[in-house]
């Protein structure tokens, strides 16, 4: 049974009630926490890029939720998926550069996969 952040069981009244947004929000927070310890010279490079694209995921979910037509919703959910893949690429780069270890990757990757699955579900319901 879905219980939204608004406390109403089974009712989705706001984008924050979407499980997709909730998992995406957890992903954003995780990215912010993990990139906090990146080298200072990456602050305006990789750290900024990872944070911006992770925020883009939840921002586009929110914007898609607010759109009236299925076609408009899908457009923003597709952008969110693009940002998610961008983040996954940057996570792999961070791992290759030694900024993230296996345990940190294990925090991000399952969340990213789940958000991807949930976004695809949102797209199917918007068609």
Residue 20: inside a domain: no
Residue 60: inside a domain: yes
Average pLDDT over residues 37-63: 97
In the prediction, which pLDDT does 2 show?
Answer: 38
Residue 48: inside a domain: yes
Residue 52: inside a domain: yes
Residue with tokens 């996954």: 88
Q: How many domains does the chain have?
A: 1
Say yes or no to pLDDT of 4 above 60.
no
In which band, very low, low, confident or very high, does the pLDDT at 7 lie, cut at 50, 70 and 90? Answer: low
Residue 56: inside a domain: yes
Residue 31: inside a domain: no
In which band, very low, low, confident or very high, does the pLDDT at 127 lie, cut at 50, 70 and 90? Answer: confident
| Residue range of the domain that includes 64 | 39-126
In which band, very low, low, confident or very high, does the pLDDT at 11 lie, cut at 50, 70 and 90? Answer: confident
Residue 106: inside a domain: yes
CATH label of the domain that carries residue 87: 1.20.1440.60
The larger pLDDT score, comparing residue 54 to residue 11, is at 54
Q: What is the rounded CA–CA span in Å between residue 127 and residue 80? A: 16
126 torsion bin: left (phi>0), alpha (psi -120 to 50), beta (else): alpha
- What is the tens place of the pLDDT at every residue in 62-109? 999 999 999 999 999 999 999 999 999 999 999 999 999 999 999 999
């Amino acid at each position: 049974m879905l219980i939204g952040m608004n406390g109403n069981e089974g009712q989705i009244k706001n984008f924050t009630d979407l499980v997709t947004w909730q998992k995406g929000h957890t992903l954003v927070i995780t990215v912010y926490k993990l990139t906090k310890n990146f080298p200072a010279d990456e602050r305006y490079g990789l750290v900024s890029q990872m944070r911006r694209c992770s925020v883009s995921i939840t921002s586009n979910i929110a914007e898609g939720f607010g759109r009236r037509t299925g076609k408009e919703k899908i457009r923003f959910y597709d952008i969110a998926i693009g940002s998610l893949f961008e983040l996954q690429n940057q996570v792999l780069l961070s791992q290759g550069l030694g900024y993230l270890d296996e345990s940190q990757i294990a925090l991000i990757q399952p969340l990213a996969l789940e958000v991807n699955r949930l976004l695809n579900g949102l797209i199917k319901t918007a068609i």
